[in-house]
Amino acid sequence: MTYLEMLSYIHTLKRSGAASGLERMQVLMERLGNPQWRLKFIHIAGTNGKGSCAAMTAGALRAAGYHTGLTISPYVIDFRERFQIDGRWIEEEAFLRLAERICREVKTLEAEGILITEFEFNTALAFLWFEESRCDIVVLETGLGGLLDATNVIPCPEVSVIMAISLDHTAILGKTVEEIAVQKAGIIKGGTVVLYPVQEPEVVAVIMEKCALTGAKLLFPSVSGVEIRSADRTGSDFVWDGREYRVGLAGRHQVYNAITVLETLRAISEHFPVSLRDARQGLANVRFPARLETLQENPLVLLDGAHNPHGVAALAQVLSETIPQRPKIGVIGMMADKDWQHAVQALAACFDGVVAVPVQSPRSASAEEIAAAARKTCTDVRVASGAEAAVEIACRMAGKNGAVCIAGSLYLAAEVRAIFRDGGAI
């Protein structure tokens, strides 16, 4: 089987199984020798900010000289982006070799009536590669939830990190922030927990209760001592706890993500000490696709993965505070299995004009549905048949002095990124 054939096979697997328990994943890992038991982890859950936190944390550990594994979910650029060691994606040869090993077990389990999901397959592959490569530590991002997420077959991590929690995937995780927080808190097994500093009181109560039940130590960094000295679309300079830092991702929320990372690094300092210089390097040098990523100037074209209430609010703040160009035009595509109508309305309110577009997925809301929702908060709304046409329309609407921001789905972000990579800039 070739690399592309293996990818095609993986994509035929059931997409998700987070609501039905860890039994399948546990059986699969037992068949593979439980490599996760020979690794050390920083485990990250939350609705928003997981990827940014993971990238910054891994960057600081890498700068300190640790052989650092990292998982990202979902990917934006390439499927292999999901699996990284020391900033490098897994090679196709290693991916195929390990995938073939997992594939044999998956087919055996299938004959026994146990159907492995795509995310479980990918998580197993990550564990095998990290263990084979003898990583010192792995920064592990959950896929969906926490309690029943495939990543939760690991032992008690060096530290559990809970990022911002808000409403998302409500059909699976719960209809209230408390219910969702219970799922996210499922990664807490004891040890130390770091909680993102801006949370709903109901979320804090859930996390505190889980820490009490497991005997975990809770670290809840404060934003009261934060001073943001400068901020633009390339990042922010800030002072926290009397020390100066720069984070290379835009927005106040990224400063709060950075504080969470710094608290996490303190929490592991006994076994994995990281110097102030290395921590600063990890924050300043972080690069992450679709986090207010600049694709083009004149007109300015930005790409962001905001797709739920918390992410949309963060994007709105960044657009207001750091993007002076006018008019601001939004390109919006959304998955229909989310609370997409409210998210579209909130996104559309950020812009002077909107281009609605379907995402290349059977789960996409239609452009006409998105446009109808957008018209409730924006008067100039147009429809495009695909991402490339949408960007062209938006750039014409913006003119040379305006700005275009593509948001609503990481799947849409991947489409747009490919357009610009292939010379599709306007």
Give the chain's mean pLDDT.
Answer: 91
Per-residue pLDDT of the chain (426 residues; tens, 9 = 90+): 899 999 999 999 987 654 468 999 999 999 999 999 999 999 999 988 899 999 999 999 999 999 999 998 877 788 999 999 999 999 999 999 999 999 999 999 999 999 999 999 999 999 999 999 999 999 999 988 899 999 999 999 999 999 999 765 444 465 688 989 999 999 999 999 999 999 999 999 999 999 999 999 999 999 988 999 999 888 999 999 999 999 999 888 899 999 999 999 999 999 999 999 999 999 999 988 888 889 998 899 999 888 777 788 888 888 888 888 999 999 999 888 777 888 899 889 999 999 999 988 888 889 999 999 999 999 999 999 999 999 999 999 999 999 999 998 888 988 898 888 755 544
3-284: CATH architecture:
3-Layer(aba) Sandwich (3.40)
Give the DSSP H or E segment for 383. Answer: strand 381-383
pLDDT in tens, 124-140: 999 999 999 999 999 99
- By the 8 A CB rule, do 214 and 247 touch? no
Got the DSSP string for 228-281?
A: EEEEETTEEEEEETTEEEEESS-SHHHHHHHHHHHHHHHHTTTTS---HHHHHH
Q: Compute the distance between CA of residue 82 and CA of residue 92 in angstroms, rounded to an integer.
A: 13
| Closest C-alpha among 81, 71, 47 to residue 307 | 47
Q: Which two tokens mark 123? A: 């998580």
The CATH superfamily label for domain 293-420 reads: Mur ligase, C-terminal domain (3.90.190.20)
How do 137-141 and 88-89 pair as beta strands?
unpaired
- In this prediction the pTM is 0.88
- Helix and strand numbers, DSSP H then E, in the chain: 15, 17
Q: What pLDDT sits at residue 166? A: 78
| Domain residue limits, the chain | 3-284, 293-420
- 299 by DSSP, 3-state: which? coil
Q: What pLDDT sits at residue 171? A: 47
How do 68-71 and 83-85 pair as beta strands?
antiparallel
Q: What pLDDT sits at residue 225? A: 87
Give the DSSP H or E segment for 148. Answer: none
How do 381-383 and 353-356 pair as beta strands?
parallel
How do 41-45 and 159-162 pair as beta strands?
parallel
